[in-house]
Structure 1
Amino acid sequence: MTMLQSTRAIRRAKPVQRVLYIADLISTVVGKTAAWLIIALMTVVVVEVAKRYLLNAPTAWIFDLNNMLYGTVFMLCGAYTLAQNSHVRGDFIYGSLKPRTQATLDLILYVLFFLPGIAALIYAGWHYAQDSWRILEHSNVTADGPPVYPFKTVIPVAGTLVMMQGLAEMLRCVVCLKSGAWPPRLKDVSELDVVEEQLARSEYVDEEDRRAAIAGAHKIDETARQRGMGGDLNT
């Protein structure tokens, strides 16, 4: 989804849905931006392999740098993965439940495990980062290890992003409990926007047919999305 499509979706949404979309957008932007570090990680590995085996000139601190790059990607993409509903779960049971049952189960688990766990991560990560900055900590894996205080700063930042997205997911659960259907995610509107734009530009579709086609597309999308979350709309 482009930024323009995201902005349109946010503007059209109702207040509660707008909050969900904004949380999704923040997590998505951060996650996709952090994903570019994979290119940096790949470049570092390729260059180091060439130096080590072709020039016989290995870099002592490259192991630390690889770990920090990968760790940064892993942590900053956590909220994005949650926004995409892509974390691993036992779908063989969860997928057969109705939306309201799913929302109830999710909400209970968020309160019991997610909130205290992520709060502990933010709290501990903040102190780790604070102590690391105070002493300008460097890695002790090698004699001349790189600084690790920027990397440790990522811990509370990533935890805060995951907490924000988790609160949005809890709000989704509340909406589902009230309506009996899962509210859409920001990614769900992308294909519908494409359909609407194509129909709007077509010279061979009149207004009545265009509206009927868009309504049909929305219905198909809603059915597929609810089935994707598990269960059906009969609550």
Structure 2
Amino acid sequence: MRNGIRAFVRVVDAFNLRVGRFAMYLIFAMLAVLLYSSISKTFFTPSLWTLESAQFLMVAYFLLGGAYSMQLDAHVRMDLAYSNWSPRTRAVVDAITVFMLIFYLVMLLVGGISSTQYAIEYKETSYSAWSPYMAPIKIVMCLGIVMMLLQAVAAFFRDLYAARGETL
């Protein structure tokens, strides 16, 4: 069982590391779109697609990078008493909070899948003048939630083993 959990954690970490590193570069794509938008508004006819494309890239950047951020333990943490606790106490508290995060992410994924199904079935478009299809960004949203969910499960396993005084 322990080897299976170790393999799961290793695969999830490797996948989220690669996707997270890719997602880091989406900020440059977003900046390029916004730069083009500024230039086109100043010298040419303004483009309809630039602002919404930049928003979609930001959503992808944020959601695809979330699991990588969790993997690096880069999320903000309230540290009033946490730093004074023993490593085992921290692991127990982290396991409890990660379990609550898993519950939240499952509920978020259920809503995301429902919204994605609606967007695909009815060919939902944005209400902007450009009116792009919403299904691609909703699929990216669901993928980001799944990645975060898998990383949270991996963190839960790490915390369980740390609470028992073992390393995974």
Distance in 2, matches of 1:158 and 1:173, equals 22
Residue 38 of structure 1 is matched in structure 2 by 27
Distance in 2, matches of 1:96 and 1:17, equals 29
Unaligned runs of 5+ residues in structure 2 are none
Give the alignment of 1:125-144 within 5 angstroms: 125-142=112-129, 144=130
How far apart are residue 65 of structure 1 and its match? 1.0
Q: Tell me: higher relative CO, structure 1 or 2? Use CA pairs within 8 A at least 6 residues apart.
A: 2
Residue 38 of structure 2 is matched in structure 1 by 49
Residue 219 of structure 1 is matched in structure 2 by none
Unaligned runs of 5+ residues in structure 1 are 1-13, 185-235
Q: Deviations over 1:153-195 (max 9, x none)?
A: 1122111111110010010011101226xx47xxxxxxxxxxx
Give yes or no for contact 1:103–1:176 (8 Å, CA) kept in 2.
yes
Give yes or no for contact 2:34–2:51 (8 Å, CA) kept in 1.
no
Distance in 2, matches of 1:125 and 1:60, equals 27
Aligned pair 1:146/2:135, yes or no? no
Distance in 1, matches of 2:16 and 2:85, equals 27
Distance in 2, matches of 1:67 and 1:108, equals 34
Aligned structure 1 segments of 4 or more residues deviating by more than 2 angstroms? 14-22
Aligned pair 1:117/2:104, yes or no? yes
Distance in 2, matches of 1:147 and 1:17, equals 40
| Same amino acid, percent of matched pairs | 23
Q: Deviations over 1:60-111 (max 9, x none)?
A: 2322111111001100111111111111101342122111000111111122
Aligned pair 1:68/2:56, yes or no? yes
Larger radius of gyration: 1
Q: CA RMSD in A?
A: 1.7
Distance in 1, matches of 2:114 and 2:25, equals 28
Residue 83 of structure 2 is matched in structure 1 by 95
Q: Deviations over 1:21-73 (max 9, x none)?
A: 32211111111112222121111111111110122x11123221111110011
Residue 205 of structure 1 is matched in structure 2 by none
How far apart are residue 137 of structure 1 and its match? 1.6
1:89 aligned counterpart, secondary structure? coil
Give yes or no for contact 2:37–2:51 (8 Å, CA) kept in 1.
no
Q: Which stretch of structure 1 is more off in the superposition, 61-70 or 19-28? A: 19-28
- The letter of the residue matching 1:161 is M
Aligned pair 1:25/2:14, yes or no? yes
TM-score, with length taken from structure 2: 0.91
Q: Deviations over 1:116-142 (max 9, x none)?
A: 210011100001111101122211022
Distance in 2, matches of 1:23 and 1:107, equals 18
- The letter of the residue matching 1:41 is M
